[in-house]
Structure 1
Amino acid sequence: MRYISTRGGTAPAGFIDAVLMGLADDGGLLVPDAMPQLSPETLEAWRTLSYTDLAVEVLSLFTGDDLTREELQGLVRGSYATFRHPEVTPVQKIGDNLHVLELFHGPTFAFKDVALQFLGNLYAHIAAKTGSIIHILGATSGDTGASAIEGVRGKEGIHICILYPHGKVSRVQELQMTTIQGENVLNLAIRGTFDDAQRIIKEIFADAAFKREYHLRAINSINIARILAQVVYYFYAYFRVSGEADGRRVNFSVPTGNFGDIFAGYLAKQMGLPIHRLILATNENDILTRFVNTGLYRPAAFRSTHSPSMDIQVASNFERYLYYLHGEKPEMVRELMAGFGAQGEVRASGEVLAQVQADFSAYSIENEACLNTIHGHYHGRAYLLDPHTACGVAAAELGAVEGEVTVALATAHPAKFDESIRLREITQTFPESIQALFELPQRQTVVEATAEAVRQKLVPFFGGEAGGTEAQGKAITSA
């Protein structure tokens, strides 16, 4: 298995080189050079596997000779030993034709743990085996940061810097990042939105000389390893649900802002998993819904919502989908992304739009509908949804069709978003580890939303002998 750029300007790379590269050197995103195809017999043989055994089978299709089977087994088992549920990602039935796939049983109570526990252990393995320097730079709308930090905290030879939008994440999300005291962790709260943070990350990674000098590695879903790790739970959930579906077709409803989570489902379907429909759920920041329904991909005014991790206008994984949508032709992707840079939009029409609408259904779930869904399931089913999962559940209910069963991805524990939950006068009990966060001191630095301001903090942090504690500070500061 080799990995190539969506823009065609980077030499094919093996799995480990692709992980280390993160963003392709030509500014594109890395994708497999061939999609594994699974027979019905293979799928049936996998049906009863545990989550960890299934993860080994799926991931081994993409790692090639870069990891032995024993190495991969060790990484997978170590990654999911940190999860609180023996099934890792259990499925719960919350309606006659509706299930939720609980992805929040990892250390930080968010679906990002599924990929980032694996990626953190993979980075540590690479550092130990090859002597590579691992300086991780990432952006978060809330959950990626905490999961990434948890995935690498205390690991020898790894330092991590996370950017997030100041004042635009939940209190628990902020505490999970800023209460970590490890000297290998730097939090930068930018005065802007997540889209600004994501733009800064791409600008810095596009500076090839700076990227090489400071050994920058990616933790965001631009890193193909994150997407591949998320593919696994589509297989696991499908096997759990399809056996009880009595011949009904199986859909997945996915709350998304950056397109990575639902793109993992798209890859699973391309591999041969018989998913019927992929339902894309956004909040008011609905660029992806508008693209599916109208063919126009163009950012609109930013809206703060009760589902802040989805408050994203420019989806970093969208380029990967464009690559497959346009027949795996890098020249088309280069043209489309150049047009997006110049005109700020991408358009699809005719047969291309028809293919988009065959690949996805899409709904935008606004604040009141989100809160009403939380209220309805709490009082009607005694099941508490977080506001992101509520978007996915509401979209599943809007798109319900007779003879189909839908799995909505439950992407976070409701305790992470108590500000929203309390708006419907619902009182919840926090898990002990989350409650303890409120008593811990915080460390963060507030900076302007420019690549230069971030670089000024990265140089001492990644360049210093002990991780540059001067850049971190011991309390909340501004710069």
Structure 2
Amino acid sequence: MRYISTRGEAPALGFEDVLLTGLAPDGGLYVPETLPHFSLEEIRSWRGLPYTELAFNIMYPFVEEAIPEADFRQMLDETYSVFAHKAVAPLVQLDTNEWVMELFRGPTLAFKDFALQLLGRLLDYVLEKRGQHAVILGATSGDTGSAAIEGCRQCEHVDIFILHPYERVSEVQRRQMTTVQGDNIHNIAVRGNFDDCQRMVKESFSDQSFLEGKARLAAVNSINWARIMAQIVYYFHASLALGGPDRSMAFSVPTGNFGDIFAGYLAQKMGLPVSQLVIATNRNDILHRFMSGNKYEQHTLEHTLSPSMDIMVSSNFERLLFDLHGRDGQAVKELLENAAKGPVSIADYRWKRARKLFDSAAVDDAMTCATIREVYQQNEYLLDPHTAIGVRAARTCRRDEQIPMITLGTAHPAKFPDAIAESGLAVKPDLPAHMAELFERKERYTVLDNDRDGVQSFIAKHWKNA
């Protein structure tokens, strides 16, 4: 399988190079040249499989030219053995045909573990094979950083630098990153917002001269195709658990960077019957404004009770735009260049094609808290603020009560005690046993100004072989 750039000017690459490259040299994101497609009969035959077996069936076509079958199976077994629930992604029922898929049973209590536990193993495998060393550079709005550090901390062939917006992630999220010890782990708190961090990462990938050719950058953000690949699996998992593929499913996805919901879009293209994908956003609602009114326009980023979604520039949205424009890279490039200058729209027929599958809703902090309170009072089930946004959006946008609606539960409520408290519930969610001493552990991070050159200088000075 070959991978091409959404901007059409970079050479096609194999899986190993895509894994290590992250952002394409033309500034685009890599996508498969063709997608595997599974028949209903084949999908039906997967009912009852353990999660790792299902993951192998869905993902192996993307990597088979680079990784022997036995090695990939071992990676998957290791990846999902660290999850705290045997089902890996258990489903919890809220109401008739309404479900939450718990994606927070991994070591850092967030859905990012599904991809990043695997990504760390993939990176170490390929770097060992090539005799190379990589500098991982990523930006986080809260959960990616801790999941990346946990997934890569034992990798022998990487140094990892994670940028997070200073004082704009929850305390639990910050401590999950900054209390992990290791000479190859570096946390940088940037005096800015997530979009500032993400922009530095993209610019650094475009020009890596600050490393003087001594190392290459590798991406852990969802610009890395391997992240998207791993997230496709749990859409199939949920469907098969609830009667698929003989009945269609609807999914509501709390999203900021569009990666998780794009994985659902790919699952549908690969043959899974999906009738509706709901884009659930907070006040930073650029995706909702586009999907509801065909207007893509950046506003000022706001700080909310759902910090992992405090994103205005949704990187993975470019992958959807690429498909909506008939995979015309030049058209995508021109559209995004114009979007950097002001509001843009796409051709009406392209937008209407997207609306056949996608709906959207924006949920403010007050409604987020009301939803946390409402679901707890109805079910004694505690939602984190991001999942609460997903549940509210699902209930707002649901097209057909007969079709199961599955909200992706993206994080454990213990990561966001302030939101739980603001909801008015006299409930304090406890951290799981393996994190019980989190607030007693020593933190280690560096605060830097919102300055790309300063951040790059810090990285060049502190990676292992500098």
Q: Same fold (TM over 0.5)?
A: yes
Paired with 1:299 and 1:305, the residues of 2 have a C-alpha distance of: 17
Aligned counterpart, 1:89: 89
- In the alignment of these two chains, the number of paired residues is 462
Aligned counterpart, 1:360: 358
Aligned counterpart, 1:268: 267
Aligned counterpart, 2:376: 378
Give SS of 2:65's match.
helix
Aligned counterpart, 1:220: 221
> For residue 54 of structure 2, what is the amino acid of its counterpart?
L
Paired with 2:357 and 2:230, the residues of 1 have a C-alpha distance of: 21
Give SS of 2:105's match.
coil
Q: Is the 8 A contact 2:275 2:357 kept in 1?
A: no
Aligned counterpart, 1:317: 316
Does residue 453 of structure 1 match 2:460? no
Q: Is the 8 A contact 1:284 1:366 kept in 2?
A: yes
Give SS of 2:88's match.
coil
Give SS of 2:269's match.
helix
Paired with 2:370 and 2:126, the residues of 1 have a C-alpha distance of: 46
> For residue 384 of structure 1, what is the amino acid of its counterpart?
L
Percent identity (aligned): 45
Paired with 2:155 and 2:149, the residues of 1 have a C-alpha distance of: 10
Aligned counterpart, 2:17: 17
Paired with 2:355 and 2:214, the residues of 1 have a C-alpha distance of: 43
Greater Cα offset, 274-283 or 415-424: 415-424
> For residue 383 of structure 1, what is the amino acid of its counterpart?
Y
Aligned counterpart, 1:477: none
Aligned counterpart, 2:258: 259
Spell out the pairing of 1:8-47 with structure 2 (5 A cutoff).
8-47=8-47
Deviations 1:369-404 (A, max 9, x none): 111111111111011100000000111111233322
Aligned counterpart, 1:304: 303
Paired with 2:152 and 2:10, the residues of 1 have a C-alpha distance of: 28
> For residue 163 of structure 1, what is the amino acid of its counterpart?
L
Cα drift, residue 448 of structure 1:
1.0
Does residue 182 of structure 1 match 2:182? yes
Spell out the pairing of 1:201-220 with structure 2 (5 A cutoff).
201-210=201-210, 212-220=213-221
Aligned counterpart, 1:233: 234
Gaps of 5+ in 1: 469-479
Aligned counterpart, 1:58: 58
Aligned counterpart, 1:289: 288
Cα drift, residue 419 of structure 1:
1.1
Paired with 1:220 and 1:191, the residues of 2 have a C-alpha distance of: 20
Q: Is the 8 A contact 1:242 1:250 kept in 2?
A: no
Q: Is the 8 A contact 1:25 1:208 kept in 2?
A: no
Give SS of 2:274's match.
coil
Q: Is the 8 A contact 2:279 2:361 kept in 1?
A: yes
Q: Is the 8 A contact 1:172 1:434 kept in 2?
A: no
Q: Is the 8 A contact 2:210 2:460 kept in 1?
A: no
Deviations 1:344-380 (A, max 9, x none): 3331242012112113100001111111111111111
Cα drift, residue 210 of structure 1:
4.2
Does residue 333 of structure 1 match 2:340? no
Aligned counterpart, 2:194: 194
Paired with 2:296 and 2:204, the residues of 1 have a C-alpha distance of: 24
Q: Is the 8 A contact 2:290 2:296 kept in 1?
A: yes
> For residue 441 of structure 1, what is the amino acid of its counterpart?
K
Q: Is the 8 A contact 1:249 1:403 kept in 2?
A: no
- Sort the Cα spacing of 1:248 and 1:67 in 2 relative to 1 into closer, same or farther, 3 A: closer
> For residue 44 of structure 1, what is the amino acid of its counterpart?
R
Greater Cα offset, 200-209 or 343-352: 343-352
Q: Is the 8 A contact 2:10 2:25 kept in 1?
A: yes
> For residue 171 of structure 2, what is the amino acid of its counterpart?
R
Q: Is the 8 A contact 1:135 1:158 kept in 2?
A: yes
> For residue 306 of structure 2, what is the amino acid of its counterpart?
S
Deviations 1:272-324 (A, max 9, x none): 11011001100000000000001111111221111110011000101111100
Q: Is the 8 A contact 2:29 2:318 kept in 1?
A: yes
Q: Is the 8 A contact 2:276 2:359 kept in 1?
A: yes
Does residue 108 of structure 1 match 2:102? no
Cα drift, residue 335 of structure 1:
1.4
Paired with 1:15 and 1:294, the residues of 2 have a C-alpha distance of: 37
Aligned counterpart, 1:152: 152
Paired with 1:430 and 1:213, the residues of 2 have a C-alpha distance of: 41
Greater Cα offset, 141-150 or 87-96: 87-96
Gaps of 5+ in 2: none
Paired with 1:65 and 1:367, the residues of 2 have a C-alpha distance of: 46
Paired with 2:157 and 2:319, the residues of 1 have a C-alpha distance of: 31
Q: Is the 8 A contact 2:208 2:217 kept in 1?
A: no
Over the aligned positions, Cα root-mean-square deviation in angstroms equals: 1.4
Paired with 1:451 and 1:63, the residues of 2 have a C-alpha distance of: 34
Q: Which TM-score applies when normalising by structure 2?
A: 0.97
Paired with 1:258 and 1:134, the residues of 2 have a C-alpha distance of: 24
- Sort the Cα spacing of 1:410 and 1:431 in 2 relative to 1 into closer, same or farther, 3 A: same
Of 345, 348, 351 in structure 2, the residue corresponding to residue 347 of structure 1 is 345
Give SS of 2:280's match.
strand
Paired with 2:136 and 2:27, the residues of 1 have a C-alpha distance of: 18
Of 374, 381, 392 in structure 1, the residue corresponding to residue 390 of structure 2 is 392
Cα drift, residue 429 of structure 1:
2.5
Give SS of 1:73's match.
helix
Does residue 130 of structure 1 match 2:169? no
Q: Is the 8 A contact 1:248 1:403 kept in 2?
A: no
Give SS of 2:188's match.
strand
Does residue 78 of structure 1 match 2:86? no
Paired with 1:318 and 1:182, the residues of 2 have a C-alpha distance of: 34
Paired with 2:93 and 2:210, the residues of 1 have a C-alpha distance of: 49
Cα drift, residue 434 of structure 1:
2.7
Deviations 1:162-194 (A, max 9, x none): 000000000000000111121110000000000
Q: Is the 8 A contact 2:134 2:215 kept in 1?
A: no
Cα drift, residue 123 of structure 1:
0.8
